[in-house]
Chains A and B, each alone.
Chain A
């Protein structure tokens, strides 16, 4: 759990461009001290009296003890909210709520971990890598994106990981292709015991398939459109199979964003599977026992 989330007015300490992304470091003591790898924060965008009533979810890239605690996140401009965030400057204030969601579970034993990141999804993997290495786990990275300027954290991955494999769809950096193309080779080479992944849903689906092929667990941090980030609006749901074998529409924000990959019914995201609990026509039987 990691303690209950806080709402804080944070002050932007620094902003910088990192390739296609904007990195913001914000003084947010209550959040930094409760943070665990995999947590995210939600940000109000547009300032006081904003016409944008929903919050934006952002993964926490880094926390540092400076100024009582800072959090850093990495923003890709998508629409008006992220564009507003990209315009923030030092000393601006931000309304943050966090840490939110369920963090990555950590292995008890020193095992071999492959960390897979797509686009800005890799932002969430570095704090995880630190935590894994403190437990004497081996960490290898596979990072990918559409193009070189969208691969986030390649330098840091090279510094931190035993090996780092990069892929781009246009071939502008590393191997041409997708992370799932190279992942089987990496898993074999490093004798991986577990895969951690964060990135677009299509990537998570492919990474999970690799994990299933090798019969090793995959922990995925999913991304679903969110309005509240705290579990009250029920807009961020996806079909996930529970311990009892029953598929439920669960909240990515409060029940996730981290799930066991093989429990997420990726093929059925965006639908209500007929056998989900409460599906029209009376679903809910344990058809998908794993």
Chain B
């Protein structure tokens, strides 16, 4: 039976990895991801989990090791943040087209320079196009649940793609929350053993990762992209079955008090919790504000987002990432293209907030909604504004 406990979110997430009975964990430390791999190394050390914990010499080595392990047919997990994720970057683009269902927890953190260990989404947004399935958790329970969902979806033979669960560094990873931990029997009911279609095996030799000559390269890239898009069906099915078994339903796009809203805040990750409080405050004041949260970032659930946005006239899109020299932030840009020339499309304004651990308070969300209302009347020069920057 599931049991409800007060637990640090990193540890809850690591418990999910343990319950998934993962085979190989190549890991390298970086704040704020460390508690996850420390806990896993502990459960391996005391025999609670039978896995190979590979103490690699770098994150690049970690992801390379993950590729080998997954190619050999092992359930494979790793975790990283910020500089570590970027050191992996060259290899992150490889398991997608090679169809290795590696699962990774990315504990989101700001990028150097200046060096900062604190939270935002610049790390994962810089790796947006690596071709992995990517989800975002808002709470500890979600981090635990989405982790199990990730193994199930990634390894499904119709999918066979790597998958990332994003959790915000510190503001989510290091807080203690009440989390319902599923029992081993419950997890086993949901997550079948990993049965790869292909593996490196001398009895059935295959060549993995050959040269993509011009006659085949485009086809290989398109095949991967098609697989990523088609994974949505399995992602949804995975969430539906999770709900059937355990009663918690997840959706690619979640809404909060959005039905009759004129202005919608759009968020990703744990700041959504504060945004909900802000919505309540604004509603109390009679403002028709609501919230849309993006849970599934890749493949991007376009139709679901359009439906969730409903008849809202204004979107105040929060990005946790500054894209230097760009028209706006990555989430803002995504939504602008989604709604381009769609009849009745909302006006979209982009707010860059919470960089490098800067708090995004209820007041800040109210400020964004107010500004969006003003911009809707008079178009601003720039399509985005960085919130809460000190002038002096």
Q: Do the two chains bind?
A: no
